A and B are shown apart, each in its own frame.
Chain A
Amino acid sequence: MAHKSASLNKGYAPFLIPGVIAFLLVIILPFLVNIGASFTKWTGIGTPKWIGLANYVKLIGDVNFWASFRNNLAMIIAMTIIPTIIGLLLSAILFDYIANKFGRGMSNFFRAGFYLPQILPVAIAGVVWGWILQPGSGALNELLKSVGLDSLARNWLGDASTALPSVMGVMVWFQIGYPLVIFMAALQRVDPELLEAAAIDGATWLQKFYYITIQLIRPEIFVVVLTTTIHALKVFGQIYVLTRGGPGTATLVPSYYSYQNFFEKANVGYGSTIATVMTIIIILLTIVFINVQSRQQVAEGF
């Protein structure tokens, strides 16, 4: 047995060569340059000036950075937790219920529709959501007025108390399609006979969902949670077009903050510091996550 698996595992290393080289050049080297730049004061052109840990010290005391970090946690809720849960439920409904009652075409149609927000360019989505969330005559406030909920109308993006929730709402809208597509594909793997047997044994839909379905598509759930979390920690485009981080620091996120330093303030050194710190956090998160995931797989005999 041991001999068999050993021969199974030999000879795969060469397949990694193109990937590793490419990654070294395109990602790792720039990352090292980035780390190097974080110890300097530099405008991007010309020679950088070494200043040691000064940028990092500044970062620790930077109110804006910590505000942006807190907002990042809100982003994780909006981009990981909520879409994953909605994605799971929606995919089960579409895959099981709708497909059985109305046919595969109908469930495909809904899936395509829910995925569409992911295709719209972020800049345009920002402009359109700006129109919808406009105070006064924006579509959302008009809608509320027309059903008599006038008092709920707000200055969604311009008021510090509603700006972050509004951005979170837009992010949920944007993100739902991604887990949906992945989960619906993963559900193919669930043996329908397994579910029927459970139904015969008296399991409710919820019980089947929780004890069978979710367990079987666990690899995909891991992938979705990790990738959406990484995406949430890096989110930039939507913030840029919706609020540019304002009002004040209500919707500022680290990625936008580092962008401001890189490209608007010509503070490449400090921008690199922020980017390095965020990347290290993401790397640590990834390490923990993948370790947990692989231990799960080992436990299940894979």
Chain B
Amino acid sequence: MSAKMSRPLSIVLATVMLMGLVACGGGATPTQAPPPAQPTTAPAQPTTAPAQPTAAPTAAPTQPKEQRVLKLWHYESLNGAMGAAWAEAIKDFEASHPGVKVAYEGKGFEQIRQTAAMILNSDDAPDIMEYNKGNATAGLLSSQGLLADLTAEATKRGWDKILSPSLQATCRYNEKGIMGSGKWYGVTNYGEYVLVYYNKDMFEKYKVNVPTTLEEFEAVMDTFVKAGVMPLTLGAKEYPSQHIFYDLALSKADRAFINAYELEGKANFKGPEFTFAADKMVEWLKKGYYSKDSTGLGAEEMGVAFIQGKYPIMISGSWWYGRLVTEIKGFKWGMFLFPGAKYGAGSGGNIWVVPTKSKNKDLAADFIDITLNKKIQTLLGNKGGIPINADLTQVTDPQINELIKNFDALVKNDGLAFYPDWPVPGYYDVLVSNIQELIGGKAPTAVLDQLQKAYDEGIAK
């Protein structure tokens, strides 16, 4: 009996020994390997103003010039616009900083989202990291002292001139961690917004034009319904429904409303804006514009349905652009801004943050600078992203140009209204589940009450 038992056991023991050898031998990761010592004549700093980290509570000595490593993390796909642009930026950085190696690690969004505070509070924090913008994320971390103050860098290097005020809103946070004003704790280098994608072939077939007002938009959708085609693909199990809800509210709103909701903690769900939004969503459901079943569909299913040509209209974010370009094969498609509204969901993109514990804050600032320069920004645009400082004459694809121009229009009109789940941590789930209930038949007033309650609870902290 023992002879038979020992066969699997011996396999296991052999494997363990092999593991041990590999683990001990392969421990040194290539990213930690210091570059060969540089002769002292090699200049390590770019010619811009000396980068002194400001407000660094720990005056940690920087690594010796010969072997500095910039630990850089982000979670964008390397196939996407940002990933490609930043990869180029890394190359440019290493070229202009001999003696410095960039240790890049591609992270998962979930890990950063759930454990950012823990990581930044430890010695394993990177030197520069992509992070989510907003009070609940960057705001929270900045108020906990985990992010370095980049204000001096921003003014010295002119970031405050490159980024328009509405883009700066997500980069600056006050002592309470509220965005909009205060010190620079992050720097964004691209934009994002919610828009309407439409199937040009289907619009032609049913003889409808791109609408310019909300009434025209509803008339377009009515035409589709009458022809037996459900116009709007929606994924109400995830974020798409709250973006539409917010955009509808914004169509009746002004800047004061947005500031109250996003910055001041004074949302009024009983007011005309949100009441309009809730009633409209129910009205659209009753008119057959979208399906009640959408509560069981995620964003992925929504997008796939549009790509398959099953629905003529999809209201979602600019992050879909790259994928639609690659995967839509059967029809022509286009984009337009949410009709008739001055304000729309959108903001500066995710921000670069520099952890307080970083020992290479100067290098981090250099890198941020590179991602903001014309070359990298234009590349970002050409890859299908939304740059904020590109040479648009160099962006060749007309459809990408349209995407960027729509964003620029929003920015110029001070139309960026951020996103509805930002004011309160954990509000994303609240919005998803309450809008599911709204679509499921719960009375709008009851849903708005719940939203108000959860909002107030979250603000009172």
Contact = CB atoms under 8 A, between A and B. Distances in A.
Find the residue from B121, B291, B429 having the highest chain A CB count within 10 A.
B429
A43 B140 contact: yes
A50 to B, nearest CB: 16
Interface size on A, as a range, is: 20 to 34
A225 to B, nearest CB: 30
A45 B144 contact: yes
Nearest to A131: B301
A9 to B, nearest CB: 28
Contact of A44 (B117, B437, B440): B117
Interface string A7-47: 00000000000000000000000000000000001011110
Interface in B229-245: 236-237
Find the residue from A45, A133, A156, A245 having the highest chain B CB count within 10 A.
A45
A247 B292 contact: no
Contact of B296 (A155, A249, A263, A266): A155
B426 A265 contact: yes
Given A45-B117, A158-B236, A248-B436, A265 B458 contact: yes
A159 B294 CA distance: 10
Contacts of A158: 236-237, 293-297, 436, 440
A134 B121 CA distance: 41
A60 to B, nearest CB: 16
A160 interface: yes
Given A244-B432, A246-B237, A155 B146 contact: no
A51 to B, nearest CB: 12
**At the interface, is chain A mostly helix, strand, loop or mixed?**
loop
Interface residues of B, number: 34
Contacts of B292: 155
Contacts of A264: 425-426, 428-429
B125 to A, nearest CB: 12
B298 interface: yes
Interface string B96-127: 00000000000000000010011001000000
Contacts of A133: 296
Interface string A38-76: 000101111000000000000000000000000000000
B333 to A, nearest CB: 21
B55 to A, nearest CB: 18
Nearest to A265: B426
A157 interface: yes
A135 B294 CA distance: 8
A76 B236 CA distance: 29
Contacts of B436: 158, 160, 246-248
B434 interface: yes
Contact of A263 (B114, B121, B424, B434): B114
A237 interface: no
Interface string A254-288: 00000011011111000000000000000000000
A118 B291 CA distance: 34
A95 B121 CA distance: 54
B80 to A, nearest CB: 21
B433 interface: yes
Contacts of A247: 295, 433, 436-437, 440
Find the residue from B117, B296, B298, B432 having the highest chain A CB count within 10 A.
B296
Contacts of B293: 135-136, 155, 158
Contacts of A263: 114
Contacts of B144: 43, 45-46
A165 interface: no
A44 B122 CA distance: 13
A246 B426 contact: no
Contacts of B461: 41, 267
A130 interface: yes
25 contacts: A43-B144, A44-B117, A44-B118, A45-B121, A45-B144, A133-B296, A134-B296, A135-B293, A135-B296, A157-B296, A158-B293, A158-B297, A159-B295, A160-B437, A244-B237, A244-B432, A244-B433, A245-B433, A247-B436, A261-B426, A263-B114, A264-B428, A265-B424, A266-B136, A267-B461
4 closest pairs, A vs B, by CB?
Answer: A158-B296, A158-B295, A135-B293, A265-B426
Given A158-B296, A265-B426, 17 more contacts: A43-B117, A44-B118, A46-B144, A134-B297, A136-B297, A158-B297, A158-B440, A159-B295, A244-B237, A244-B433, A246-B432, A248-B433, A248-B440, A264-B425, A265-B424, A265-B425, A267-B425
